[in-house]
Copies of this chain bind each other. A is one copy, B any other.
Amino acid sequence: MIVLNIDKKLLAADGEMNLGLNLTLEKGQLITLYGESGAGKTSTLRLLSGLMRPDHGKIIVNGKTWFDSDKKIYLPPQKRNIGFVFQDYALFPNMTVLENLEFALGKGQDKKNVSDLIEIIELGTLQHRKPETLSGGQKQRVALARALAERPDILLLDEPLAALDAKIRLKLQDYIQRTHREFGLTTILISHDIGEIIKLSDHVIFLEKGNIIRQGNPDELFINSNISGKFKFTGEILKIEQQEIVYIATVLIQNSVVKVIVQDSEVQDLHVGNKVVVATKAFNPILYKIEG
């Protein structure tokens, strides 16, 4: 369990901003921080990892005090078993991809972890290249793998998938989810992608100007009504066309496009670009196997 109760003055867009966090995060959960640019998401991760020192308050992780301004306890980042994927990747330019990952291993950890990871992020043929010549997305994959290599208790991800294309993004989402579960990690993710958030997270925290304005499970927070029925997907409205008295909304879900009939009364509220949930009550699916 992570108990955060801290304050930190930041220099925000409009003068000083107080980042005030009072949070209890359950062990093993995948928590997402959501909020506008400049809300304090990155700063929250830095405070938790020890890279930024709170002005006052307490951080207690699994019963151990990491920070306590009263007792003058301040565990340095080295002592906090944390994996961190930085917004700017922060790969070590002097090391190849493989060396970056191997360097992250703790003492006595198995090098096999690393070769598994390299396979999973599909960078096998790049493993002896230096980060400088990699594309943005390749770099981001390396950064993610490196943070996982050290098998941390807590994984902090600062928009780890922002620069990735849909295919590799889905793959890495799966991988994050799998690692998160397999290793019993507590993961804190920063993401702007609502689909991704709903897919991955157990708990979402809304930050606004340094304050937590709402939190809860993603369904509660992002979907107005609680949807009954099992089958639901998040998507985005691409087009709304009027056809006689009804409207037809074209919705993008994953890579598929669905056309949904929308009533006149509902259409007022819907605009192109809106995120929506597509759900259904009656549904008779058929399976087709994918070859390959």
A interface with B by C-beta (< 8 Å): 11, 13-15, 34-38, 41-42, 87-88, 123, 125-126, 129, 133-138, 140-141, 158-159, 162-170, 173, 192-195, 198-200, 221-227, 230-234, 236, 238, 249-260, 262, 266, 269-270, 272-292
Contacts and interface: CB of A to CB of B under 8 A. Distances in A.
A232 B254 CA distance: 9
Contact of A135 (B37, B136, B233, B280): B37
Contacts of A167: 36
A169 to B, nearest CB: 7
Contacts of A137: 36-38
Contact of A256 (B133, B233, B262, B287): B233
A226 B255 contact: yes
Contacts of A256: 226-227, 230-233
Contacts of A13: 123, 125-126, 129, 138
Contacts of A257: 222-223, 226-227, 230
A224 B35 CA distance: 34
Contacts of A231: 256, 258
Q: For A133, A234, A258, A287, which residue has the most chain B Cβ atoms within 10 angstroms?
A: A287
Main secondary structure of the interface of A (DSSP, over half): mixed
B269 A289 contact: yes
A94 B260 CA distance: 51
Nearest to A37: B137
Nearest to A192: B165
Contacts of A253: 233
Nearest to A292: B222
B238 A199 contact: yes
A224 B166 contact: no
A252 B195 contact: yes
A206 to B, nearest CB: 8
Nearest to A232: B256
B258 A275 contact: no
B233 A233 contact: yes
B136 A42 contact: yes
Contacts of A254: 195, 199, 233-234, 254
Given A232-B256, A252-B195, A273-B170, A266 B287 contact: yes
A283 B230 CA distance: 12
A273 B116 CA distance: 19
A260 B277 contact: no
Given A159-B136, A250-B223, A282-B282, A288 B276 contact: yes
A284 B282 contact: yes
